[in-house]
A and B are shown apart, each in its own frame.
Chain A
Amino acid sequence: MGTQAKPGIRLRAVLISLGILLANIVVNGLIFLFFRDSTLNPLLTAVLAVLWGVVGVYLIYYTLTFAAEKYPDKIRGRILPFIFVGPAVLLLGWLLVLPALRTLYLSFFDASSDKFVGLANYAAVFSDRLLGTALRNNLLWVFVGTLACVAFGLLIAILADRSSYEKTAKSIIFMPMAISFVAAGVIWKFVYYYQPGDEQIGLLNAIVTYFGGQPQAWTSMIQPWNNFFLILILIWMQTGFAMVIFSAAIKGVPDDILEAARVDGSGEIRIFFRIIIPFISTTILTVTTTIIVFTLKIFDVVMVMTGGQYDTEVVATQFYRQFFMYRNFGYGSTLAIVLLIAVLPVIFVNLRQFRKQGGF
């Protein structure tokens, strides 16, 4: 009886919900315009924004579910989920999913997105010298950076596990992960700093001159080795990540297996390669893919350190240059799609793993 609501009640529910929906659109539209055009003091804007972010966004859900309550159970059960996922799905669709498709579309058009050029942009990206350098460097970043992060991470995790100050050591190695790549760029620019003359204030050049070597402009002069000095920054920042995950995995290796191996007279190195590594192999795989994905998109470090000069360009900086400085939307989109293609295997693996876990 209760679910078979009278037409009058249903009409009222529709009116109420439409009114609430409309009110939400109008109020939030006004807030949108207010924030867009506001010239208030930034602190005040921040406070208002936090207020809107917490109270306002919450109110959207509150009022919409309130409207849904007016419907009979069956209809309410259908509407409610969409109120809960609605804002997330709409934002994602507008600012991530659709743009990705539009970028794919734009990659088949010329610089000003007017003329269809087919695959010409892709042909250009893989043949043009500058873009070729970017691709080569990106491979260097992915290969060297990832390998070093994983190797150092593993080494430090093992050492920390056997040391008497594990927590402190892990904190120190992990700390660079907290700071921005821009700040890290400044830190390392100072380490690599070169000035003509005897007195070197950059640590690396001071060490080199102390041992009788010639000071160098590390990030600009010695191409293509300068790329390695940039990659070193990534290693400094990301090793902590690998280390923390490996450290947790190593603690999962059962003690009795290790003890048994020791009793049998295996050395620590043998134990490491024969027991620990096979035991944590899935973790190693996960960490490796994560760092590869991260490294593919490297941008900030190169931007701050060299701006992509001296043959240090990578795909993401070249993307920025084409899109933002040359306004070549064709090349820009194509480079973005190249990055997307590079991470596609990871996306598939993620999806398959999720299905295997019985997520749905």
Chain B
Amino acid sequence: MVGSKKRKGNKAVVNIVLGIICFIWLVPTLGLFISSFRPAADILQTGWWKVFPHQEWKASDDVIRLSKDVDLRGPIEVNGKTYTDAQLKAGVVEGGKRLMWENRRARMISVQTEGWVTKSNLTTENYKNVLSGKEYKLKKADGSETVQKGSGLSQAFLNTLTIAVPATIIPVLIASFAAYAFAWLRFPGRKTMFVTIIAMLVIPLQVALIPVLKDYTALGLNGSYLGIWLAHTAFGLPLVTYFMYNFISQLPKDLFESAFIDGASHFTIFSRLILPLSVPALASIGIFQFLWVWNDYLVSLIFIGNQPNVQVMSMKIADLVGSRGNDWHLLTSAAFISMLMPLAIFFLLQKYFVRGLMGGSVKG
């Protein structure tokens, strides 16, 4: 009895500690998310946590007027107490109220009271501005307006999709054919080829980039969709082949034998039998490859370069960080747009997602 009571007490401690860790893990993303909905000027003026109710000094109607001849350099007497000029500048708390210069030249002191405030001024302007390529007006903190050009992220979103979908389907298909052959067919060179593929699993991409870029320049593939599809296909192949091999080689042998007796060819067996049976594995590794391409920065940076009409989101955002590092209204909304797809996949297809990531964790 005592033991179980102690266990229960432990559980409460565990729950609290884990809760704190989870909170710390969530807060950075939450900050980005909230900020992306705040007006540009607000983001720069107050922390995003100020959208939640918090206590803050607010000016009340109460104002103390001192006589014009008070010497500001000496001690200043207010309501029977003396303060220095510096104290009044920073605000001094007295009996639950705060005294602060309202207008120093006019000798006006505002009496502020503490109260609950929310700075919950939210807008979707940031998203509109970052997605479009048009010019828009932006109100600055001091009330003035400037004209900025939108970032054209919707184009980059489309480009990313254009690159990611084929760069997922092509390697998964090619790798599945190869995995089938490695698992169930016997041919000379099979071992050498497969060992090479395993060796390529953790190879750093960097070792391939210089020669491939040279070839691409010679072939005119730089900055083209085809070039980047092929690059992602090749770089993804070792992992996808290995993953699919592990799955396909575990399928029961009788399956193939009975199909063979029925006179089916390898091609028929593969497309009618193996592919449908492999759907869970295909989904897992497909999701991994898709996210890998979606989140990729290095490969796009090298092979797309400065082609603005092919640029992907990660490059666009990295550019924004470099050129407009203080424009948080753009950065936060742009980053969140790029996270939409991964987060949607994460929450909707969590089972496949985790399985794919586990299998794909070794990727170069």
Instruction: Show the binding face of A for B, using Cβ within 8 Å.
Output: 32, 35-38, 42-43, 45-46, 49-50, 52-54, 57-58, 61-62, 65, 69, 78, 80-82, 84-85, 87-89, 91-92, 94-100, 102-104, 106, 156, 159-160, 162-165, 168-169, 171-183, 185-191, 193, 195, 199-203, 206, 236, 241, 244-245, 262, 268, 290, 293-294, 296-297, 299-300, 303-304, 307, 316, 319-320, 323-324, 329, 332-333, 335-337, 339-340, 343, 346-347, 350-351, 354, 359-360
Contacts of B252 in A (CB 8 A): none
Contacts of B197 in A (CB 8 A): 92
Contacts of A241 in B (CB 8 A): 357, 361
CA distance in complex: A82, B110 (Å): 86
> Out of B14, B226, B342, which one reaches A162, CB within 8 Å?
B14
Instruction: Show the binding face of B for A, using Cβ within 8 Å.
Output: 3, 10-11, 14-15, 17-18, 21-22, 25-29, 31-32, 35, 43-49, 155, 158-159, 161-162, 165-166, 169-170, 173-175, 177-178, 180-182, 185-187, 190-191, 193-212, 215, 219-221, 224-227, 229-231, 233-235, 237-238, 241, 265-267, 270-271, 291, 294-298, 301-302, 309, 314, 317-318, 321-322, 325, 328, 331-332, 334-336, 338-339, 342-343, 345-346, 350, 353-354, 357-358, 361-362, 364
> Out of A165, A187, A296, A343, which one reaches B28, CB within 8 Å?
A187
Contacts of B27 in A (CB 8 A): 203
CA distance in complex: A20, B256 (Å): 28
B162 touching A186 by the CB < 8 A rule? no
**What are 10 contact pairs spanning A and B, CB under 8 A?**
A36-B224, A84-B180, A92-B196, A174-B346, A178-B345, A201-B48, A203-B47, A300-B297, A350-B201, A359-B194
B10 touching A162 by the CB < 8 A rule? yes
**7 closest cross-chain pairs (CB), A and B:** A180-B295, A95-B234, A84-B181, A46-B162, A81-B187, A88-B178, A99-B211
B302 touching A324 by the CB < 8 A rule? yes
A190 touching B187 by the CB < 8 A rule? no
A351 touching B314 by the CB < 8 A rule? no
CA distance in complex: A191, B24 (Å): 12
Contacts of A185 in B (CB 8 A): 318, 321
> Out of A49, A156, A332, which one reaches B210, CB within 8 Å?
A332
Knowing A57-B174, A78-B187, A92-B237, say if A106 contacts B210 (CB, 8 Å): yes
Chain B proximity of A349: nearest CB distance (Å): 10
Contacts of A359 in B (CB 8 A): 194
A-B contact count (CB 8 A): 339
Contacts of B187 in A (CB 8 A): 78, 81-82
A54 touching B295 by the CB < 8 A rule? no
Chain B proximity of A154: nearest CB distance (Å): 13
Knowing A178-B343, A236-B28, say if A81 contacts B165 (CB, 8 Å): no
B181 touching A187 by the CB < 8 A rule? no
Contacts of A354 in B (CB 8 A): 195, 198
> Out of A102, A172, A186, which one reaches B32, CB within 8 Å?
A186
Report whether over half of chain B's contact residues are helix, strand or loop; otherwise say mixed. helix
Contacts of A202 in B (CB 8 A): 47
CA distance in complex: A88, B314 (Å): 28
Chain A proximity of B210: nearest CB distance (Å): 6
A173 touching B21 by the CB < 8 A rule? yes
CA distance in complex: A350, B234 (Å): 20
Chain B proximity of A272: nearest CB distance (Å): 13
Contacts of A173 in B (CB 8 A): 21-22, 25
Chain A proximity of B67: nearest CB distance (Å): 31
Besides A159-B17, A182-B314, 5 more A-B contacts (Cβ < 8 Å) are: A164-B15, A180-B295, A183-B295, A299-B297, A343-B202
With both beta carbons as reference points, the residue of chain A lying nearest to B224 in the complex is identified as: A36
A339 touching B206 by the CB < 8 A rule? yes
Knowing A163-B18, A177-B357, A336-B209, say if A36 contacts B322 (CB, 8 Å): no
With both beta carbons as reference points, the residue of chain B lying nearest to A104 in the complex is identified as: B207
A88 touching B196 by the CB < 8 A rule? no
CA distance in complex: A348, B301 (Å): 30
With both beta carbons as reference points, the residue of chain B lying nearest to A161 in the complex is identified as: B14
Chain B proximity of A264: nearest CB distance (Å): 13
B224 touching A175 by the CB < 8 A rule? no
Contacts of B336 in A (CB 8 A): 183
With both beta carbons as reference points, the residue of chain A lying nearest to B246 in the complex is identified as: A359
B11 touching A340 by the CB < 8 A rule? no
> Out of A38, A61, A199, A320, which one reaches B267, CB within 8 Å?
A61
B169 touching A50 by the CB < 8 A rule? yes
> Out of B17, B25, B169, which one reaches A54, CB within 8 Å?
B169
Contacts of A332 in B (CB 8 A): 210
> Out of A78, A85, A102, A347, which one reaches B178, CB within 8 Å?
A85
Knowing A46-B165, A156-B18, say if A236 contacts B224 (CB, 8 Å): no
CA distance in complex: A215, B95 (Å): 30
Contacts of A42 in B (CB 8 A): 155, 158-159, 162, 225, 309
